Amino acid sequence: MATHPRRRKITPVKRFIVEDRSMEPTLLPGQGLIAIRSRKLRRNQLRVVEHPDRPGFWIVKRLGDHVVHARWMLLADNSSAGQDSRHFGPVDLTESWRVVLKIPQRWM
């Protein structure tokens, strides 16, 4: 009986830099983020996604309520300093990145 080595799936990893104050105090401007592709979506996760109204512009927000299929409400921790789903509606997260590590500003 032949056995086959188990293949490991390589998870894409990407680095982002926080540029605004919409997620303070959780995330600060200049802070780095390491994010992975992950389909496991859970309320309160931090996710990086392309802005629905500004292609090529990435935003980081907290997952709120699941609306339908892959569409979720995205919430800013500091809503007075930025936009979230209360402005642009639920967002499709099939191409989102899950934040797995916050890098302190002093290390950037």
The average pLDDT across 42-46 equals 97
Distances (CA, A) of 100 to 46, 69, 96, 108: 8, 23, 13, 17
Domain 13-107 grouped into CATH 2.40.160.10: no
**Count of beta carbons in the 10 Å neighbourhood of residue 74:** 25
pLDDT at residue 90 in the model: 97
Closest Cα to residue 46, out of 77, 12, 80?
77
pLDDT digits (tens, 9 = 90+) for 64-88: 999 988 899 999 999 899 899 999 9
Mean pLDDT, the chain, whole residue set: 91
Bridge partners (DSSP) listed for residue 16: 33
The average pLDDT across 29-57 equals 95
